Amino acid sequence: MSELDAPVPMLDLSSQFESLAPEWLASIRETGAAGSFILGPNVRAFEEEAARFTGVRHAVGVANGTDALLLSLRALEIGPGDEVITTPWTFFASAEVISLVGATPVFVDIDADSFNLDVHQVEAAITGKTRAIMPVHIFGNPVDMTTVQALAQRHGLEIIEDCAQAFGASWGGGRVGSFGAAGCYSFYPTKVLGGYGDGGLVTTNSDELVEKLRRLRNHGATAPFMHDTLGYNSRLDEIQAALLRIKLRDVNAIFAARRQVAAAYDAGLADLEVITPPRPQGGEHVFNLYTIRSDRRDQIRAALTEARIGSAICYPLPLHLQDVYASLGHRPGDLPVCERLADEVLSLPIYPEMTEAQVARVCEVVRAALSQV
Ligand SMILES: Cc1ncc(COP(=O)(O)O)c(C=O)c1O
């Protein structure tokens, strides 16, 4: 089969494994020999390295990105009676954790260009119960943190950044995860900095919060077998930390490769009737996903599937209209931008090892799909 008609997966995780395997496996062997499996030297070193990379004082490794958000809300003592403003255009976990601590997610519509929370609509959603804003840097695209910080300051609100899809993205020269009380990362394998299993991290500049987070991830323990609060078993695994340290060293190459694929798509799709993702004014995108818009989305997707090319719809149903949030009383039409985009968006394959020929093939199939009447 020539490269011209080979399948193109949405994501190819196995192609990077061989290059990382020798160093990672040696590190696992060292961990085994030392018998240091839980919160060992790799977790501590990764926390320091990730904090330095992000430009914050502290980082705390946790079991996954969902827990990074959950523990941050708990550490900030956000709970029943509180409201947290967030976006309906995100993976469910962002809102789920707000509800899990007993608080209420308040959904604000998104901006059609960035797919991010429309920061200009946030102020109208602030009430006496609002405790925090949770911006989500969706698809790797940074939220306008200048505006979010100004709003939070004016109204005395916490900021919890959901950086799950945006490791390394920046706004105004600062990395995401450095703008609020807590920055929450996921190392789920599909993420920009992906592990080979689950993993997560919270970044913070607060000496007080970091202590709370360290206790919460370890059953609320203040000392061995001493507990002053209910916590979780939510520790970043030593073996994942070993891999993440190796990947972090060369993470700039990952960003560059993703941006190159994105630029090749921009060029290959430029003369077609699709909307390609505009670049953020004031920040750097890391392209966890490359998402186009078209009113003929389903036609394009069918052609890609037929050509054995992966694609994804992120997201088919905004969170305010999910069954689980029926009690919030939203109706179709409440948040019109995200509801319209749910019918138009299509994420195309993107991963650092993707070749120019693969990008060209995807673009050709999109072109052929749109040329059909
Ligand atoms: C925006 C967003 N928030 C939170 C999460 C949760 O992360 P995890 O799967 O590591 O729990 C994810 C991804 O899975 C995500 O995409």
Q: Looking at residues 21-33, what average pLDDT do you find?
A: 95
pLDDT surpasses 80 at 4: no
Residue 63 gets the label, from left (phi > 0), alpha (psi -120 to 50) or beta, of: alpha
Q: What is the pLDDT of residue 222?
A: 95
Q: What is the C-alpha to C-alpha distance for residues 293 and 275, in angstroms, rounded to an integer? A: 5
| 319-342 pLDDT tens trace | 999 999 999 999 999 999 999 999
Atom of ligand 1 nearest to the CA of 66: 11
Distance (Å) from CA 166 to ligand 1 centroid: 11
Q: Domain spanning 251-371 has what CATH number? A: 3.90.1150.10
Question: pTM for this one?
Answer: 0.97
| Residue among 362, 363, 265, 344 at smallest CA distance from 297 | 344
Distance (Å) from CA 61 to ligand 1 centroid: 15
Helix (H, G, I), strand (E, B) or coil at 104: strand
Read off the pLDDT band of 1 (50, 70, 90). Answer: low
Chain region(s) in the chain for CATH 3.90.1150.10: 251-371
Read off the pLDDT band of 373 (50, 70, 90). Answer: confident
Pocket flag, ligand 1, residue 199 (CB < 6 Å): no
CATH topology of domain 15-249: Aspartate Aminotransferase; domain 2 (3.40.640)
pLDDT surpasses 90 at 6: no
| Residue among 96, 108, 102 at smallest CA distance from 81 | 102
Q: Looking at residues 115-129, what average pLDDT do you find?
A: 98
| 304-321 pLDDT tens trace | 999 999 999 999 999 999
Pocket flag, ligand 1, residue 65 (CB < 6 Å): yes
| Residue among 207, 163, 133, 214 at smallest CA distance from 53 | 163
Distance (Å) from CA 91 to ligand 1 centroid: 6
Pocket flag, ligand 1, residue 188 (CB < 6 Å): yes
Residue of 62, 64, 66 best suited for mutating to test ligand 1, as the one with most atoms within 8 Å of CB: 66
Residue 143 carries which DSSP code? P
Helix (H, G, I), strand (E, B) or coil at 182: strand
| Residues β-bridged to residue 200 | 62, 186
Helix or strand (DSSP H, E) at 95: helix 93-100
Atom of ligand 1 nearest to the CA of 69: 4
| 277-290 pLDDT tens trace | 999 999 999 999 99
| Residue among 256, 253, 281, 248 at smallest CA distance from 142 | 281
Helix (H, G, I), strand (E, B) or coil at 349: coil
Q: By mean pLDDT, which of 9-23, 290-304, 305-319 is the weakest?
A: 9-23
Q: How many CB atoms lie within 10 A of CB 256?
A: 10
Q: What is the C-alpha to C-alpha distance for residues 300 and 304, in angstroms, rounded to an integer? A: 6
pLDDT surpasses 60 at 268: yes
Average pLDDT along the chain: 97
Q: Are 10 and 312 in contact (CB under 8 A)?
A: yes
Q: Cβ neighbours of residue 348 under 8 Å, at least 6 residues apart?
A: 265, 290, 291, 292, 304, 311, 362, 366
Q: What radius of gyration do the chain's Cα atoms show? A: 21
Helix (H, G, I), strand (E, B) or coil at 364: helix
Q: Are 217 and 231 in contact (CB under 8 A)?
A: yes
Read off the pLDDT band of 167 (50, 70, 90). Answer: very high
Pairing of strands 182-186, 200-204: antiparallel
| 175-222 pLDDT tens trace | 999 999 999 999 999 999 999 999 999 999 999 999 999 999 999 999
| 128-158 pLDDT tens trace | 999 999 999 999 999 999 999 999 999 999 9
